[in-house]
Chains A and B, each alone.
Chain A
Amino acid sequence: MPISIVVPQLGESVVEGTVAKWLKAEGDRVRKEEPLVEIQTDKINVEIPSPFEGTLSKILVPEGTTVPVGTEIAQLAGAGEAESVSAAARPAAAASASASATTATAAPAPPVPAVPATPARTEAGNGAHTDLAAAGEARNLSLAVRKIMREESVSLTEVTSISGSGVAGRVTRDDLLEYLQSRTGRPAVAGAPARAPAPAAPLPAFMAARIIEGAGGPREEMVPFTKVRRLIAENMIRSKHTAAHTHCFDEAEMGAIVALRKEWGPRLEAQGVKLTFMPFFIKAAVLALKEFPWVNGEVKGDALVVKKYYNVGLAVGREEKGLIVPNIKDCDRKNLVQLAAEVNDIAARARADRLRPDDIQGGTFSITNAGVFGAINSSPVINYPEVAILGVHKIVERPVVRDGQIVARPMMNASIGFDHRVIDGELAVKFLRRVCELLERPELLWFYA
């Protein structure tokens, strides 16, 4: 017996509600208490949770329709009935591809958001493109399936190779679990049943272009500077010609931060905040800047202006769109979670061309993470007129000597580019050492912060 979902009683004077948004599609599994639909009345939007665990078998009222309180708007098949329902629905769904379906099932299914483009651990540049391209395939995967994919590191390409038992061949949670069971102990690719050959990972646009040209077209190509590229070029030359660039290098053992991130990353992710390493770098840099204030300065004429506020710039690579360095304001007054949220926000806006003028002005110090593209060391150029830039890199398991023994440790090289006109080597080295020390022993934050 299907269970009816009705517009609930929302108050004495509330007689009707509008179906504002279906949060689940027909055929989706829902847990008890999981939000099912948003109902709107007057200026209030109410999320209606599912009363039971089961499968949303039928949506009876499409979005935008206003119905009286008590109206049945959907049907839910109980957990036990889920299989038979989806089996019964399959031929119907197939038929609707050619002929239009009966009015009862004509409600449009809301688009399911695609899988987050980059799995947390992807560090190489290419991975992101493959996942983005394949994200289209993921539109039909339920939240439960995507959760398992994340937890078990199943790629989208891999999932498309599974034969689905759901509506229109859709891969259900059970399909995936069954597949994972058969995959255990075998390498992921070999274990995939070869029903449909996995599509070759498409190349990033600019790479594809280059290969085609090489294959017979002209041997050279003229790419005019964009406005952004011209600005980058001017800034780089001004910086290199004005500041007396010098670099120093150090390294940090990252075990403690890696563990912190491993523990807190999923918790913050559940709250909508993705935790990268950058907030830790910012935190360590700001504390070191407080100790060595000259590094947080700017040359003006014959003077060094030392700044008592800490607006930390982040170099954001945007492929052919060009590098940009927006900054996060007043980092000394923000905790790690706030910094994480702002890092995500500002990087996303930088990539989407949605930065505000204020975002790229007023920086006092910058950090560049060449590690996201795989670099293990770099000599970064100062974001002039600042006087120093911190370079952070890929964290790599490396043999190191501890207590006379060779052991493997997650290590990261750190570099500093500084303006030797105003910052002596001694200051730069001490500053960099302090940053590394704070990363190696986060408990020092108790004494510094």
Chain B
Amino acid sequence: MSHLSVCHLGPTSYREGLVLQEGLARARADGRTGDWLLYPDHPPVLTVGRNPSPGNVVADAATLERQGIEVFEVARGGDITWHGPGQLVGYLVCDLDRQGRDLHRFLRSIEEGLIQALAALGIAARRDPGRTGVWSEGEKIASIGIAVRRWVSYHGFALNVAPDLKFFDLIHPCGLRGIHMTSVARQLGDRAPSLPEVRERVAGAMARVMEYPGWAWGEAAEVRGLALLETPVGPARNTNAA
């Protein structure tokens, strides 16, 4: 059983993120690569899943336009959410065969990974049965939305590390009214860890909870190659060596 590859993609437009995920999921389903956890850094964006509730956007179109926020409709589960700077977005491109093709078990594993990572940072977070996601002191700290194609997952989770929580006022997150969002920074104040530290903690916890033998950093160039090219491009064999 191979390890979990983790890659920090750096600045990634939401559109590019979609192309990369879908390409990588195809490569995974074709058996050209193993399981991946990708960390993109998205500019502010609203995304709507396949289960939207009416009136989930509070802000009017002009406000969104002025703030330069695009709205995407995506084929993942869930309602509306915001992504942007200060948030740890994690795409999980995983073969669900190793999760026993059990979608709920996969959701619970993601929640468990986030809860364990937050615990290591000093935040007591928990599940709320019936409401997928991770909660801390009654407020939501991480959202989850998954898509599955050929039994390979994509999309994933969004953990609020230190985003400007005002952005969530634009919407009713996840279509839930009266819900409050919180973040690692809000919970810990001065003791808040940096994003790179959270990336490592979360990667470690996911690998542990999903029972990978370990995890390792992968290169963004490799992800792009796997996602965008049909034939893997490797170093050419040196025929002169002999």
**A and B associate:** yes
Cβ contact of B150, chosen from A12, A18, A40, A49, cutoff 8 A: A49
Interface string of A339-361 (1 = CB under 8 A from B): 00110010000000010111000
In the complex, identify which listed stretch (B12-20, B34-42, B118-126, B193-201) lies at the interface while the others stay far away.
B12-20
CA distance A342 to B16 in the complex (A): 8
B204 at interface, CB cutoff 8 A: no
Q: Which residues of A contact B132 (CB under 8 A)?
A: 42-43
B208 at interface, CB cutoff 8 A: no
Q: Is the interface of A mostly helix, strand, loop or mixed?
A: mixed
**Is B75 a contact partner of A43 (Cβ separation < 8 A)?**
no
Q: Which residues of A contact B147 (CB under 8 A)?
A: 44-47
**Is B104 a contact partner of A11 (Cβ separation < 8 A)?**
yes
Q: Which residues of A contact B19 (CB under 8 A)?
A: 271-273, 341
Interface residues of B in 172-229 (CB under 8 A from A): 224, 227-229
**Is B77 a contact partner of A40 (Cβ separation < 8 A)?**
yes
Cβ contact of A46, chosen from B23, B103, B104, cutoff 8 A: B103
Interface residues of A in 254-275 (CB under 8 A from B): 267-268, 270-273
**Is A43 a contact partner of B144 (Cβ separation < 8 A)?**
yes
Cβ contact of A357, chosen from B15, B50, B68, B150, cutoff 8 A: B68
CA distance A217 to B78 in the complex (A): 56
Tell me, rounded to whole Å, the shortest Cβ–Cβ distance linking B209 to chain A.
Answer: 17
**Is A43 a contact partner of B105 (Cβ separation < 8 A)?**
no
Number of A-B contacts (CB under 8 A): 112
CA distance A358 to B11 in the complex (A): 15
**Is B75 a contact partner of A268 (Cβ separation < 8 A)?**
no
Cβ contact of A341, chosen from B16, B75, B103, cutoff 8 A: B16
A20 at interface, CB cutoff 8 A: yes
Interface string of A74-91 (1 = CB under 8 A from B): 000000000000000000
Tell me, rounded to whole Å, the shortest Cβ–Cβ distance linking A342 to chain B.
Answer: 7
Q: Is the interface of B mostly helix, strand, loop or mixed?
A: mixed
Q: Which residues of B contact A21 (CB under 8 A)?
A: 50, 75
Q: Tell me how many residues of A have a C-beta within 8 Å of chain B.
A: 37
B170 at interface, CB cutoff 8 A: no
B51 at interface, CB cutoff 8 A: yes
Tell me, rounded to whole Å, the shortest Cβ–Cβ distance linking A315 to chain B.
Answer: 21
Interface string of A367-408 (1 = CB under 8 A from B): 000000000000000000000000000000000000000000
**Is B51 a contact partner of A20 (Cβ separation < 8 A)?**
yes
**Is A35 a contact partner of B104 (Cβ separation < 8 A)?**
no
B149 at interface, CB cutoff 8 A: yes
A153 at interface, CB cutoff 8 A: no
Q: Which residues of B contact A356 (CB under 8 A)?
A: 68
Residue of B nearest to A264 (CB): B229
Interface string of A1-39 (1 = CB under 8 A from B): 000000001111110001011000000000001010010
Q: Which residues of A contact B224 (CB under 8 A)?
A: 335, 337-338
Q: Which residues of A contact B100 (CB under 8 A)?
A: 11-12
Interface residues of B in 120-171 (CB under 8 A from A): 132-133, 144-150
List 28 A-B residue pairs with CB atoms under 8 Å apart, sorted by A's residue number. A11-B102, A11-B103, A12-B100, A12-B105, A13-B104, A14-B104, A20-B51, A20-B75, A21-B75, A40-B51, A42-B77, A43-B76, A43-B77, A43-B78, A45-B50, A45-B146, A45-B148, A268-B228, A271-B19, A271-B23, A272-B18, A272-B22, A273-B19, A337-B224, A341-B15, A342-B13, A345-B13, A356-B68
A-B pairs, top 9 by smallest CB distance, nearest first, are A11-B102, A356-B68, A43-B77, A20-B50, A46-B148, A44-B146, A45-B77, A44-B77, A11-B103
13 new A-B contacts, CB < 8 A, other than A20-B51, A272-B18, A272-B19, are: A13-B104, A21-B50, A21-B75, A40-B77, A41-B104, A43-B132, A45-B75, A45-B146, A46-B147, A271-B23, A337-B224, A341-B13, A354-B70
Seen from chain A, the residues whose Cβ lies within 8 Å of a Cβ on chain B are 9-14, 18, 20-21, 33, 35, 38, 40-47, 49, 267-268, 270-273, 335, 337-338, 341-342, 345, 354, 356-358
